[in-house]
Amino acid sequence: MLSHFFKVAAAAAVVTAADVAVSPGANSLSAAIDAAAEGDVLVLASGTYSEAAAIQINKGLLIRSSDPSNMAVLQATTPVLFSINGLAEFSLEDVKIEDSAGVQCGLTEPIALTAEFEYILFPPITYNTAGTMKMGVTEGALNVVGTIGNMFNTRVLKDIMFDDCNYEGGKLIAPFIDILSNCRADLGFSVLMSNFAACGVVETDYPTMSSYESDLKIWSDEYVTMIDDESALRVPVNRTGTAMTHLKIEIDRVANIAATIEPKWPYAELEAAITSVDVMAISENESTIVLQINVPSPYTVSGSASGEVLFNQTDDGEMVTSAWRVTESCTALDLDELCVQSIAFDITACDLSGLFYIFGLNFECIEKDSSGNDLECPQILGDADLYFAVDSNDLCDDMFQLEALFTPTITLRPDTAPTDGYTGIRPNDIFSLGDMSYWTIHLWTNESGVGFDYAEIIKIVRTSSNVDCSGFQWFGDDIAVTPANLDQTFVSYGPLTFPAADINFPMLVTVNMACATSDREGSSLEFNFTVLGDYMDNSGRRRRREVGGQNFPDLTQNDMERRESGEANVDAPAGVIYNEKDFPKLVNTGGNAGASSANEEEGSGMMTAAFIGLLLLLCCCCCCCCVAGVIVYRKKQNKKREEQYGSVVNRSSAMSMGQPGSSMHMTGRPNESVSSESM
């Protein structure tokens, strides 16, 4: 699309398609364009061609007047006359354009000894004339929008280079060129930030900002027929020209704030970068912007310097800025060694979007180098100026809806996850009791660009649609997620990478997890995971020091603090199948993969106690039976002896009555004998 936008129109020599005559009238030009074939030449009769809307161009065409001395007038009722998309080889020759106010303009004629090729980028947050693309970063892509200046007769754009990437390489997407009713043109395209490295973009990371620098080049061809405004070349020539610009954009990895900065000082190579947009550092709608200034020795910004920050706010809300202040002057630096200082100011506003200006940045000379030798100080004839722009969300309304900074999704991994690095997808979500399940939670930051320092699962809630889980204690049932019961592995891929991070973890499928009982054959489960993410932030917002009598963030420190990026939730289903035979062999353990059940432990203890009690009861019963048996046995023996003794006494009595002088043994005294004679 951008590789051949405006075909050289001299070209009747190269155009082989048909010439199509077009008559003036309302919307007659757009109708002819719709009916034309690729490569046709639309030859316009003299007159006015009025168009009610911007004409969309999606095919290669040449539009020219039939009589250059009496040019056709293309009348636009909108700011954009032609909107060219795709690889259309579209060009204009010898026509005039009239805007809605009736003001006419003509195409600029290429001149042999004057070459004008330009591409001027719009400031951040500025839309193209059509309002379809905004300069800056949107959803992980950089939108580049600018003007290529006046439209030239017969000029065709040949290619665009974004550092090492050209359009034909496929990494520059959605390019467009809009020919405007004032005979100028807008040009824009997008490039995914994930392609920055492949295109050779230079990236520099600061505590909360990432800086990207790229060279943009525009190649154009044009057919030159004139020496000057009055004299024609005897032999027309094709000319190729290049427009080049340098793009620098800075992105807050947390707040999705984009900024550009341009320092101007003619006496030394001055560099500047926004190193921190410390959102709400002071209060709900008070933020701090910090810039880093680099200048070669012997120059340094005066440590006592201060001044007003001017701005052109792009939002309708109120904005107030404090005076800018600077860190101490540099000392004891060798010649050409960089003096690095920070400049900061505070902003009271909900939306930080706007263009900012710092005028009168006062410089002085460093007196001595690191060895104590005097440094020669060139004469300083003027101060430096800084121009920069910031693009932010409305911080008071939606900026700190932190849960929107990332979106989690979840993937069930195969059983080989520990050995294959948690890759692949499990074919199903059905498990058996005793299985180990492996999971990955992906953290997506496509809209915010957040880079995670750390993230972890802080809560798991399990529910079931077909079983009653009351009494089965697991995560969420008064059992917190801790490193002891859930082995989580955090993997960060960096900001502006999608996903930005993963959390890998195993979970053992236990009886309590599945709410399993021996009278069921399976459980349908639903898990809800709560994830908390942290990103790194400059600690200067919390620890301030006195510099030049003012409270000022100490940004010379590299200390970092975590700032929570909010919580987000993700759901995942799972099924567990089992039967009565599984239960005798199950060992329900917690370990690092799941939580063991307090109820099961208590139940196990109660069963042990009951078993012991039963044994004791059996022992007691046996003892009692033995004792009772012994007692009964003894009673029976005594009774038997009594009966035997009674029988003996009776027989003895009968015998003594029949035989005088015989002795008789008394049952009560068996050892005593009585003589019958003595009786």
- Residue matched to tokens 């202040």: 325
pLDDT (average), residues 545-571: 46
0.85 exceeded by pTM: no
Q: Cα-atom radius of gyration of the chain, to the nearest Å?
A: 47
Residue 500 binned pLDDT confidence (cut-offs 50, 70, 90): confident
Above 60 in pLDDT, residue 587? no
pLDDT of residue 352: 79
Report the distance separating Cα 560 and Cα 539, nearest Å. 5
Report the distance separating Cα 458 and Cα 480, nearest Å. 8
Report the distance separating Cα 313 and Cα 303, nearest Å. 28
| 368 or 589, greater pLDDT | 368
pLDDT of residue 453: 77
- Residue matched to tokens 């019963």: 621
Residue 591 binned pLDDT confidence (cut-offs 50, 70, 90): very low
Give the whole-number percent of the chain exceeding pLDDT 70: 68
Above 90 in pLDDT, residue 508? yes
Preceding peptide of 495 cis, ω within 30°:
no
| 213 or 63, greater pLDDT | 63
pLDDT (average), residues 138-156: 83
Pick the most confident of 111-120, 357-366, 639-648: 357-366
pLDDT tens sequence across 361-370: 889 999 999 9
pLDDT of residue 25: 93
pLDDT (average), residues 582-597: 46
Residue 650 binned pLDDT confidence (cut-offs 50, 70, 90): very low
| 78 or 352, greater pLDDT | 78
pLDDT of residue 614: 63
| 658 or 224, greater pLDDT | 224
Residue 490 binned pLDDT confidence (cut-offs 50, 70, 90): very high
- At residue 540, what are phi and psi to the nearest 5 degrees? -60, -25
Of 34-38, 232-236, 591-595, which range is least confident? Answer: 591-595
Report the distance separating Cα 621 and Cα 171, nearest Å. 89
pLDDT of residue 578: 84
Give 402-595's CATH code, choosing from 2.60.40, 3.30.70, 1.20.1300, 3.40.1360.
2.60.40
pLDDT tens sequence across 215-226: 888 877 777 788
Report the distance separating Cα 211 and Cα 206, nearest Å. 8
Q: How long, in residues, is the chain?
A: 679
Residue 675 binned pLDDT confidence (cut-offs 50, 70, 90): very low
pLDDT tens sequence across 407-425: 899 999 999 999 999 999 9
pLDDT of residue 404: 44
pLDDT (average), residues 50-69: 92
Where does residue 207 fall: left (phi above 0), alpha (psi -120 to 50 degrees), or beta otherwise? alpha
Give the whole-number percent of the chain exceeding pLDDT 90: 30
pLDDT (average), residues 335-342: 90
pLDDT of residue 395: 57
Above 60 in pLDDT, residue 204? yes
Above 60 in pLDDT, residue 514? yes
Average of per-residue pLDDT values in the chain: 75
Question: What element of type H or E holds 639?
Answer: helix 598-658
First to last CA, the chain: 157
pLDDT of residue 659: 34
Above 80 in pLDDT, residue 198? yes
Report the distance separating Cα 202 and Cα 180, nearest Å. 34
Cα–Cα nearest to 223, from 66, 64, 17, 70: 64
- At residue 36, what are phi and psi to the nearest 5 degrees? -75, 155
| 282 or 233, greater pLDDT | 233
pLDDT tens sequence across 371-396: 999 999 888 878 888 887 776 655 55
